[in-house]
Structure formats: structure tokens, C-alpha cells
Amino acid sequence: MGPSIATGVVVLYVAAVFTILASYGEARVHRSGEGSYGAVGNGYKLVSIQDLQGGDCVVALLEVIKETPETLGQDIKRLRLVARYQSGERLQVHISDAEFERYEVPQMLLPREGMETLETSPSARKLGPIGKKLGSMASTHPLEFRYIAEPFGFAVVRRANGEVLFNTSSPCNGKAFNNMVFKDQYLEISSQLPHKSALYGLGESSRPDGLRLAHGRQYTLWATDIGSFNTDIDLYGTYPFVMDVRDGGVTHGVALVNSNGMDVDYEDESITFKINGGIFDFYFFAGPSPLKVVDQYTQLVGRPASMPYWVLGFHQSRFGYKNVEQLETVLRKYKEVKIPVESIWSDIDHMDHYKDFTLDPVHYPADKLRPFVDNLHANHQKFIMILDPGINVDTNYSTYVRGDKLDIFMRNATGHRYVAQVWPGATNFPDFLHPKAQEFWSTEVAEFHKTVPFDGLWLDMNEPANFCGGPTCYYPPEIEVCPSIVQCCMICDNTNLDRWNDPPYHINSVGVHRPLYERTMAMNCEHYNGIRAYDTHNVYGFSSGLATYRALKELNGKRPFLLARSMFLGSGSYAAHWTGDNGATWGDLQYSIVTMINSGMFGVPMVGADICGFAFKTNEELCTRWTQVGAFYPFSRDHADGPQEFYLWKSVRETAKFVYSWRYRLLPFFYTLMYEARMTGAPLARPLFFAVPEDPRTWGIGDQFLLGTDILVSPVLQAGQVTVNAYFPKGVWYNLFDPKHDVLHAANHSFHSLDAPLDTINVHVRAGAILPMQEPAWSTAEARKTPFTLLVALPPEPASCMSPSAVCDQVDVATGELFIDNDDELQMEIKDGTATYVKYEAVRGQGRYTLIATVTEGAYALKQGLMLQTVSVLGAQGSPTSVFINGKIGAVDVHFNSMDSSLTITNLNLQVGKSFEVTWDCTTGDAALES
């Protein structure tokens, strides 16, 4: 919850947003051609080049061909280029000033191989034939680096087929673009693209265009505090990452590790990065599949954070829970209607005058809140509290006093503390790059935890948000209390702006070229080491989130949970994310799927949108449909600025009971996906083109999503809609809730019309999957203790294969995995005594079934006493006379349902922590069963 909405000020804020946009309307017209400056640069020429590291690296010196100081500033005369092949099938191209150090994303935030280890020699060889491939470099790498000398351009080529993936030389035929530009405050570089390429990424924004990036569009990357119900503008996170899908589904990725503000122009046959500072630090990922790209990308920026099991439950929150009694009432009402609530969240309502690490002494006193939290814990439920980075300037406020003593606050250009206005009034922003900042933040988190033993933290407004904006702001003497919290009450001097607050190039912030300092920290504010907010703005959220994660980890050494709003490349390695202050509209419901999918591609798989919408007033139909979708978000939370709890409407209540009973059944499946994400970066929620990249029809589908590879969710996203036109990859797909309904036997990368009345969401499971499940319960802790079920989905077996004497070569296989652990451990890893991993495989041929479990490190599951009691098989054609368990006849119960061709075997009494083999025969003859 940002400054965007407060109870009673929704209309005021929305009006303010439109006022802001309107106020820059003139600027928008005046600067509509901004970036089209004509000859902004004449490019560079290559003057020397040298191979290093046995040919795995090349270092080159570039010189500007002719300076153009009259346009966007002076050109940097000499550049140093480093291109090197790296493990993980990635290639780095790093271009910076050859003589002076420039700002780069701090290694303390995003560790990566530095340039300082590359020692060049004065005897660097002179340039060889123009365009000649560097033959001495690693010959086995899937990517190749190539170059042209003058004007300098480089290309990245896929070695297997010679396809050019990135080419910065302007085309001879087609629409030309500028040569590379490298000035102090303006960098520009372009790459050719095939017209049919499909691009994804460049977040964060709400996109009515859909999942695929649209030709002729400009995407601005600037961390901005504004409601996500605003479309096509820069929002909270900045992700300069692009995934490129080409003909045949062959995919590669490009990340630009640069935290300065930027515009990215995507034209029919080119992409152009326009950046107001920093360096070019490109990483190219070979793929060739979408999942491989994400794997390679997260090897660089960090694997997704390990999440506690309970995070997968349903979470309830609201801005406007006025007191502890109201929290108690909400939980009681949910229990009365039998909807499980994993945790209750506290927005800024609990704070004393909106100050971090404080409690309102009247409405949230410690002597009431602490027993409430203790009772939650006794019922295996959790309590999460919010934090904003701004610290109120108040000498009677202990947090401020400690921060003041350590001198860890950001300073303005004159060396004084920078003063902003946020919820508590006058605030200072912690400098999270300061060497003492972690000590300060960890102390505050630990001290507050002694008062309220919260289970996780929710970091909001960490762009950072500021209700004012300008290099120098102060409260006039006559202002004692600001009459409107979300409007600026300070006087800000925005005349005579320096080159940081008024740079030569104005990015298209919020679609109107809004000044960089608007509603955030001034750009000439400095960190302790002199780095300016001009460079670090987009990683301020990263730095605050990393400090919060470390503070949580230091509390008790257990696995932390942090939900953060402003994110950057690598933020997913410590935080989950929600899509911000969305609106209660059908459009926002649609955008939520695209945003969720994008977040997974960016390495932040634990993500969800505020169910039913945060801002504006929702309605029963919208909330019913949103609840259906939200139950399958990786992170599932109802949060709003007003009442919209699920129990308030009958249809929402009944829908929630049904879909969340299934979510809780599927918790082991979700948690195993989270383990996969931790190991490989694979998103939990995936676009369909991840499964079928070779089919161009999937490239633009953003209204369905996959959970892993095995569950397909096809929701209703429009008012009054009672059918959906859903795409199904090749194979057999079963309706998860009702296998006899919507069994798609002939799905062949095709669309199918499905019924979807108001009480229905279409969720299908792929034949070939084995889903581990447990029983629903009031909490995830209770659900984890219940018996396991395996849902084995096989395609229907032809009748011709049922006879033991039949000649039938068809063999059907289904596979699945299960990961369970003690989620107090910091990391999700297969480890003796604290985690167990099981691989399941089911094989069927000529009516004979074999189910095998192969266990790795079974001690944890055995210690927990976890049992597998039931196996449900879809696609079965008959009932066995006997079931063999590890070669012996088992005393089990068997039920065959001919209506939906399902077979259920119960009372298996198999220990999850031990490998086993279960066999049975469903042929129509009298053949003997074999183990």
C-alpha cells in the first residue's frame, strides 16, 4: 500500500494522479520527439584489440570518430570494451570509459565477475581484417562474439546455426539507426531484429497490449510510486531484461545490468536502449529454450529465494483494519465460513503516527497485539507487518535517534540530510549502501520483534516514495500538521536545477517525461561514498530489501519471508513480490496474469496481485472471478483499501471454499515447484509459450498460464463471460476438478471452447503428470501432517491394449516429483535429516501398471511420519484383482469408476521416506500379476 490510497482519500488520490499527468501535458507535446535529436553521435572506431584468458576474453580500445558536443553533452573520447565467454552459456559485453571509472550497479547488491582482474598489455595486437571472427576464443561456447571496426559494431551469433541474435551495426537495407553513443549522461545503442521476433520482458508495467512486447512502443524503466491501475507507464520495479523467441521457438535472452533511468524503443526491426548514465554491461544467454534462458539468467542474478512453506497459504490483509479487535473479527468470520486463512497482515494502521517499528498506543497497544499474535501462532497461523524506508525526523523517536547517531541517512547536494515527506511527515531516507546501515536496520527489526514476534515483513514504498519532490524542500513555519497526508505540504525549490535533476535526456517517466525527482528523492542526493541517487534510484528498493532480508535472517537463523514492492534484477533472490496498488477492474484482473508471468521470467516466481483489486470498489462478479484466479497465483493474498473479505458475498464465499480447498490439496505440488525454482530459476506460473515455443500462436497468449508443466489455468477475465476459448498443447488434458468433464483427447496445439459459468474456473492436468497432494486443512501446518495422495494422469488406454494376448506397443509414462523439508532451514536443498526428495514414475503397457518411488534422503519424511495412502489414476480402463506392493499382495481398497475412467487405490500405508514399487494388472484376461 503506497501513498496512492487511504481510506477516505481514494477519489482525492485518483484526481491527483490525473492532475499530475495533465500538468505535464504541455511537456509531453513539447518533448514528443525527445530522443530524436538527429545525429546524437558519429560512433566509434576500433583501434586495438587483445585476447586474454586463453582466448576466452577480448579487450578492445575504441575511439570516438567525431565528437558531437552540441547534442546531449560531450562524447567520451575513449572506451574500453571487454567481451568474454562465461560459464552457464552466457556471454558478457562490457563497455565503459577507458580512462575514468564510471558508476556500475554495486557488487554488494548484485555480485558478478569484475573487470579489475583483466590486465591488458601495451602490446595489444592491432586490428585485423574488418569483420573477421575472433578465432582464438572458446570454440565450444554456443555463442560467438563478432565485430566490425569502423564505425564500430558488435554482434552476438548463435554458433549452431549462425543466426545473429544481437547486432549493433546499422543495417544497409531497412530503417537505419544511430551508431553507438556514449556520453556522460546519455548512452544509446541499438540492435537489429528480425521482423517476426517475439520479445518479452522490460518490466515493470501494467500492459493492456498483453504479454508480448508491441512494435512501435517505448518502455520506460524507472522505479515509480504510482498505482498499478495506471497502464503503460513505469511502475515499481525495473528489469532491463529481454527474452527473444525466434522461428521454431529457439530462444535467447539479453540482460543489461544498468540501474540508470532508461527508455527502450521497440520498432519493427530494431530495439534501442536510451540510458541517462552508467555503462553498457550486457549479458547474452544462449537458451535455446525459454526455461534454459531463465536458468542461465538466474545463474547470473541469483536463484529465487527459498520460501517458507506457509507462504503458499491464503493471506488476508486490508488497509483500514482499525484495531486488534477488527483483526480478531475478520479471522473469526473466515473460520465460520470454513475458508482457511494462513496469515493476517497489518498495514500502516498499527503504527504510532505512521512511524516504522512503533505501535499505536490506543488501537494497537502491545498488551492487546501480543496476545493476538501469540494466539495466531498457537493455531499455526502467521502475522506479517509493513515497513516503509522513510524514518520520521523526531528526536523523541528512538529509531531516528539511533539512525542519527550512526549517521546513515542520505544527504543532499549541500551535505545536509535530505528531508522528504511521507506518511509520518518529515522523513530521512536510510542510505542502505552505508557500511553501518545493516547494523542500524537489523537493530530496529530485532528490537521491534521483541515487542511483536511477527513472521515476515512487507516492504512498501521503497522506490523510495516521496509525497513531495525536489532538491531542497522544507516545511514553512506556519505548517504544524499537514492537512492532507498524500499531498505535499513542503515548499520545494525546483529552480536552477543541476544536471542531475535536469539531465540532457529526459526519459519518458509516467508517459509525460516527468522530472526524475518527482515524488521521490532528489537526484543529487548522495550516498556515503559520493554515489548519487541519479545512478542508484532504481536499486534503492533492491538495497532496502536486501538489508531487510538480512535483518530477518539474523533474528533467529530461520528462513526469512519478505514481500517487497520496488525490485531490480536479482531481487527475487531474497524477496517475493506483489503487483502493487492495482484497481478493482476487469482490466486489472487481466493485467495481473501478464505481470505475474513477467515477474517469473525476471527471476521473481513468488508473486501475486491483490485479489479483487486494491483501489476502487469491487463487485461480486469481479471478486468471484478474481478469487478463482487468485487461488492459483503463486502468492495468494486479498488486500484492499476497504472491505472485500471473501465472506461478504455468497458467490465469492462458495467459490473461495472450493478453489482454496484445491489449493491446499496442491500445496505439495506448489512447494515442489518452488524447489525447482530455487534450483533452476523456473517460474511457478509460466506462459504457454514456455511449453510450446515452436507454436507462434502461443507467443501472444497472456490470458492463460501454466503451473509448472502440468496444470493449465484458463480463467474468465471479462464481465458476463460464461465460456473461454482456451489453447491446449498437444496431448490429453483432464479437468482437474471433474475428470469425466472436458477430457480433451485430441488436443493438438489447438483452441477449445469451454463452459465457464460463474461458479467455474477451468483448470486442467496434463496426461503424463503425477501430482503429489495432501488434504485441505485450516492451516498449511495442519495440512502438512495429512496423508498424501498421488494423482497419476495417464492417457486413456485403447481397448485393443487391454487383452494380455493383444499385440500392443503403446507404453504410457507419467512422472512427478515431491520435495519436502524443514522450512526453518535457510535454504531449500536436499539434505539428510532436514529434507526429502522423491521421484515418481508410472509406466503402463498392455494393461499392466507399475508405480515406482525413488527416494533421496528419506530420513526427514520418515521422522515426520509422512504416509502415502492413496493413488488415483486417470485414464484407467479397469479394476485390478490384486495390487502388489514391493512384490507382495497389499491389503488395499480398490475402486474403479467407469464414468470418468479413474482408478483409486487406498489404504496403501506407504512411508513417503522409503522407495517402493506398486504394480497391478488391469487386463481383461487372467494373466498373473508380477511385482
Residues annotated as catalytic (active site), given as ranges? 460, 463, 581
- Within 10 A of 497 (CB to CB), how many other CB atoms are there? 18
Q: Is residue 490 a contact partner of residue 473, using CB atoms and an 8 Å limit?
A: yes
Q: Is residue 190 a contact partner of residue 271, using CB atoms and an 8 Å limit?
A: yes
231 class by beta-carbon count within 10 Å (0-12 exposed, 13-18 middle, 19+ buried): middle
**DSSP designation for 458:** E
- Give CA angle at 692 (687, 696), nearest 5°: 90
Q: Is 59 helix (H, G, I), strand (E, B) or coil?
A: strand
Q: Identity (one letter) of the amino acid at 508?
A: N
**DSSP designation for 306:** P
Q: Is residue 870 a contact partner of residue 905, using CB atoms and an 8 Å limit?
A: yes
C-alpha cell at 467: 509525497
Size of the chain in residues: 931
Q: Is 82 helix (H, G, I), strand (E, B) or coil?
A: strand
Q: With the C-alpha atoms ordered 725, 211, 19, 224, is the resulting torsion angle positive or negative?
A: positive
386 class by beta-carbon count within 10 Å (0-12 exposed, 13-18 middle, 19+ buried): buried
Q: With the C-alpha atoms ordered 459, 462, 467, 471, is the resulting torsion angle positive or negative?
A: positive
- Tell me the residue ranges of DSSP E strands in 512-613: 562-564, 576-578, 607-608
Can you tell me the distance from the alpha carbon of 156 to that of 789, in angstroms, rounded to the nearest whole number?
49
Q: What are phi and psi of 705, to 5 degrees?
A: -155, 155
Beta strands at 636-638 and 314-316: parallel, antiparallel or unpaired: parallel
CA distances (Å), origin 342, targets 302, 328, 508, 629: 28, 14, 41, 18
Helix (H) or strand (E) holding 655: helix 650-665
Q: Is 27 helix (H, G, I), strand (E, B) or coil?
A: helix
Q: What are phi and psi of 331, to 5 degrees?
A: -65, -40
Can you tell me the distance from the alpha carbon of 1 to that of 6, in angstroms, rounded to the nearest whole number?
9
Can you tell me the distance from the alpha carbon of 223 to that of 533, in angstroms, rounded to the nearest whole number?
12
Q: Is residue 339 a contact partner of residue 315, using CB atoms and an 8 Å limit?
A: no
Q: Note the Cα 706 to chain centre separation in Å.
A: 15
Can you tell me the distance from the alpha carbon of 842 to that of 911, in angstroms, rounded to the nearest whole number?
18
Closest CA to 259 of 277, 244, 241, 283: 277
Can you tell me the distance from the alpha carbon of 758 to that of 753, in angstroms, rounded to the nearest whole number?
16
Closest CA to 647 of 330, 263, 911: 330
Can you tell me the distance from the alpha carbon of 766 to that of 657, in angstroms, rounded to the nearest whole number?
24
Integer Rg of the chain from CA: 29
C-alpha cell at 654: 462458495
